[in-house]
């Protein structure tokens, strides 16, 4: 039975990458050591982390005046690190409340004593659509606008960015980095936990404009962008294995044709599923069409017991991890870069037959 894993994160990795990890695991570059054992200061790892940065720079066309950092602590760590490092002048950030992860970012900033103004929210509409800015942002009021570009739980994505009127945008790209093209220059900083679309859990990518790297007071060393940039992500022990695996994923994306090729595939995969949902009499997508994510697709029958039955039968058929986030229920299919078209097709075939027999 072919297994497809639709988990939102940690999520599936390209089969070729898993194969390579397995082959290389006992003996990295004929060193007689495993990647799990090598020093982060040794030459093998030096080459790996340099290549990972170069691959990410090539894939996202990251300009030289942006630093690439490999950190730990996940998206949640960045909910603290971003305000600690970047909310220095006004000690105030703005937020568009597009869902759970945007909210978490605002709450974490406030926990650290940084003000957060929620300018708009689609909570009352159960986050079926994206919030827009109600009025042009006042210049020089906020250190930045926090934007969760892809809302993993609710299944919405900003395919075009709101006009922030000169206020810097800090973006949580945890669940659609490299899934569709974004222009790095549109952001002051981008962060992404790796475990959705980049690799295994444990490494967090940060891309930040170098002129924003100041000596921020009171930032723990492990969260300090300026220190991390100065030390090329080697101030302390980085997540060696996770960066190694991330680099293999980045190589794989480049071999496949880069972000443009991923985007094309993700459009095709998600269109297959959305087309089915929009024509189904049993299943539907709750998300406004223009706001739909390419990577996270929630859907439901509208009946919790029926949804449970679909999940149970899908699991028995090898279609795994289709349960929606515990906060919203229903089902959710995550179709990240590593998910082949065949995985989207298998899901639609299964749902179609389920509906025929219902
Ligand atoms: C998963 C996720 C997070 C949280 O990531 P952790 O690495 O678990 O802290 C934050 N933001 C978004 C958009 C996510 O999808």
pLDDT 10s digits, 112-136: 999 999 999 999 999 999 999 999 9
* Closest approach atom of ligand 1 to CA 101: 11
Residues of the chain by 3-state class (helix, strand, coil), percent to 5: 40, 15, 45
The CA-based diameter of the chain, rounded to the nearest angstrom, is 63
193 within ligand 1 shell (Cβ under 6 A):
yes
CA distances from residue 313 to 158, 196, 283, 308, 320 in whole angstroms, order as listed: 33, 25, 15, 9, 10
171 within ligand 1 shell (Cβ under 6 A):
no
Q: What is the pLDDT of residue 181?
A: 98
Strand partners, 156: 151, 292
> Mean per-residue pLDDT for 221-242?
98
Q: What is the pLDDT of residue 162?
A: 96
Burial class (CB in 10 A: 0-12, 13-18, 19+), 274: middle
11 within ligand 1 shell (Cβ under 6 A):
no
The kind and range of the H/E element at 255 are helix 240-256
Please name the residue whose Cα sits nearest to atom 7 of ligand 1. Answer: 74
Contacts of 114 (CB under 8 A, 6+ apart): 83, 87, 91, 92, 93
Q: What is the pLDDT of residue 139?
A: 85
Question: What sign has the CA pseudo-torsion 36, 39, 44, 49?
Answer: positive
pLDDT at 179 over 90: yes
Q: Mean pLDDT score of the chain, rounded to an integer?
A: 97
């Amino acid at each position: 039975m072919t297994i497809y894993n639709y988990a939102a994160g940690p999520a599936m990795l390209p089969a070729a990458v898993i194969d390579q990890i397995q082959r290389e695991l006992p003996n990295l570059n004929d060193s007689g050591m495993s990647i799990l054992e090598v020093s982060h200061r040794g030459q093998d790892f030096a080459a790996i982390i340099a290549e990972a940065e170069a691959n990410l720079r090539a894939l996202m066309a990251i300009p030289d005046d942006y630093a690439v950092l490999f950190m730990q602590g996940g998206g949640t760590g960045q909910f603290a690190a971003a305000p600690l490092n970047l909310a220095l002048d006004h000690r105030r950030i703005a937020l568009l409340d597009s869902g759970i992860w945007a909210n978490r970012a605002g709450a974490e900033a406030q926990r650290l004593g940084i003000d957060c103004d929620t300018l708009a929210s689609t909570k009352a509409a159960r986050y079926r659509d994206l919030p827009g800015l109600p009025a042009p942002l006042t210049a020089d009021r906020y250190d930045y606008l926090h934007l969760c570009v892809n809302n993993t739980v609710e299944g919405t994505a900003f395919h075009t960015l709101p006009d922030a009127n000169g206020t810097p945008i800090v973006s949580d790209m945890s669940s659609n980095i490299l899934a569709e093209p974004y222009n790095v220059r549109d952001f002051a900083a981008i962060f992404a936990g790796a475990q959705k679309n980049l690799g295994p859990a444990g490494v967090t990518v940060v891309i930040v404009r170098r002129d924003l790297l100041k000596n921020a007071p009171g930032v723990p060393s492990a969260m300090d962008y300026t220190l991390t940039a100065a030390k090329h992500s080697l101030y302390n022990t980085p997540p060696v294995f996770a960066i190694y695996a991330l680099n293999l994923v980045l190589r794989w994306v480049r071999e496949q044709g880069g972000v443009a090729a991923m985007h094309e595939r993700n459009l095709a995969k998600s269109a297959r599923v959305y087309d089915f949902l929009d024509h189904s009499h049993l299943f539907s997508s709750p998300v406004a069409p223009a706001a739909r994510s390419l990577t996270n697709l929630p859907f439901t029958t509208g009946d919790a017991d029926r949804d449970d039955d679909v999940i149970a039968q899908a699991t028995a058929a090898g279609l795994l991890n289709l349960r929606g986030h515990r906060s919203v229920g229903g089902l959710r299919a995550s179709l990240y870069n590593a998910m082949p078209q065949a995985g989207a097709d298998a899901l639609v075939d299964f749902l179609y037959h389920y509906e025929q027999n219902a």
